[in-house]
A and B are shown apart, each in its own frame.
Chain A
């Protein structure tokens, strides 16, 4: 196994994902199979190549910049409209720090 049950639980924790015990077992098997396939990447020699982080095409260096002009935002009411819980113009969340 390329990935242990403990690692699956650790990664789920990093991802803020609550998994059931059944899901942990299922994902351990799935991830293992997929990671074995990912190992193929090691067959290919890449030490002389740069990573490609994005699609590049011929353009001026500043082509993707826009003028820094002020424009209206969404506004408080619209921004909060989809919140599961909001009040007094703020998103409301469960207690973070115990008093």
Chain B
């Protein structure tokens, strides 16, 4: 058993043929993840007891000849902004360093019900705010492909864990690119489903009109299978959609001939040459597969960063108000009265990026500025969404880069918040429109850094997005 390259299907075959038990696999995965962790700092906690309980449950079912679920025995890593009952959930923040959630997120419940084994919680930017994973209170994650570089953010730990092979698949969250950008930097598949496709019950809120939970995998098939398991309406999240969930695996049939793909010209201007070359090669490959690639325009793209950072910080300033020293573990020890206690707790507890965003969000919502910033940004958001619906009237899917550049050095951009924000330019638009989008590996730079290609599709059209990504993956597109 080679844990590093294991797929979900191989786990199912191995369990069925009794080459290993779920308990043996969970034990081996936990040991491997613990041994590897000093290299990348991808995990913040390991959930050994819970993992072994779940694995025993799978083994018992299999012994009785019952169906143990589509991801039975599969080691899964979960981003530490998604709550796990009884397992510490820090959100990468000093404020929640000792927080033990009293309930499970719906996505967590569903993946365990499908037989998945949660082995640990992964490092991330504090409250998922960042593009490099350097904003974690528990130290940065290092990119498994180059340990002096960032894994991307904010779901850097989940991407690194899957790339490193310490988990077969992982859950992340995406508000402005936090799944796709780390997936591209770490050379794995990362999926941001349609807004409402996956319940956010138990996802610690950052910007509620933009937050998504989504899967990471080493293959399109594994990511699609994990989405199968977690997708669908949840009465506990009123923003989750009633729309039926197709079996995504049945769409991985290679039938992409004649598919109309749009190439937004606004997304091809600021690419470093190596990333640009790899995207160019990937597009040639898609043409060889018979896809009809045409230029399109998404004219509001230039305003997307401003639009996103107004809306996301406004919502964040409201969502983070709950961390006030009353309910969630951390309280400043030096306060005379209630108001001081709030102020000191938040001043001592939040890291620099969270404070910056709370400040920005409070400012844009404050009296006299609401219309100029927040309302204006919401109108621009509507225009960005309209750009996409206009495009999808002409094409079946959109193909674009994920990031203007591959993984950068730890420390390279952390001193310049505006430069860090600008690096999200190709990913935030999908979140603003609420459409499904994903990153699929399309090769490596000469320095060995992975680059991802982004695919975007219509609302609830994940199946077509997976079909294209899978067809591309089968050509060996990641080996360019």
Residues of chain A whose beta carbon lies under 8 Å from any beta carbon of chain B: 3, 7-8, 11-12, 14-20, 23, 27, 30-31, 33-35, 37-44, 46, 49-55, 57, 59-60, 63-66, 74, 78-79, 81-85, 91, 93-96
Contact = CB atoms under 8 A, between A and B. Distances in A.
16 contacts: A14-B362, A17-B346, A17-B350, A27-B359, A30-B418, A34-B360, A34-B418, A39-B306, A41-B306, A41-B307, A41-B377, A52-B382, A52-B385, A57-B459, A64-B238, A82-B327
Contacts of B195: 55
Contacts of A23: 352, 355
B103 A74 contact: yes
A78 B102 contact: yes
B378 interface: yes
Interface in B351-383: 352, 355-356, 358-360, 362-364, 366, 373, 375-383
Given A66-B238, A83-B327, A93-B326, A17 B343 contact: yes
Contact of B380 (A8, A35, A46): A46
Given A16-B346, A19-B355, A81-B100, A53 B209 contact: yes
A11 B373 CA distance: 15
Instruction: Decide if the interface of chain B is mainly helix, strand, loop or mixed.
Output: helix
B433 interface: yes
Given A51-B379, A52-B378, A34 B421 contact: yes
Nearest to A40: B306
Q: Report which residue of A27, A37, A84, A93 has the largest number of chain B beta carbons within 10 angstroms of its beta carbon.
A: A84
A7 to B, nearest CB: 8
Given A11-B363, A34-B309, A57-B243, A94 B382 contact: no
A47 B411 CA distance: 42
Interface of B: 98-100, 102-103, 194-196, 209, 235, 238-239, 241-243, 300, 302-303, 305-307, 309-310, 317, 321, 324-331, 335-344, 346-348, 350, 352, 355-356, 358-360, 362-364, 366, 373, 375-383, 385, 417-418, 421, 433-434, 459-460
Contacts of A19: 347, 355
B238 A31 contact: no
A94 B338 contact: yes
A41 B376 contact: yes
Given A27-B355, A55-B434, A94 B337 contact: yes
A89 to B, nearest CB: 14
A48 to B, nearest CB: 9
Nearest to A65: B238
A49 B363 contact: no
Contacts of B239: 54, 64
A44 B378 CA distance: 12
Contacts of B421: 34
Contacts of B434: 55, 57
A36 to B, nearest CB: 9
Given A3-B363, A18-B343, A57-B243, A50 B418 contact: no
Nearest to B330: A84
Given A16-B324, A40-B302, A83-B326, A31 B363 contact: yes
B356 A27 contact: yes
Contacts of A63: 241-242
A46 B209 CA distance: 20
A50 B342 CA distance: 37
A70 to B, nearest CB: 13
Contact of B241 (A12, A39, A57): A57
Contacts of A16: 321, 324, 339, 342-343, 346
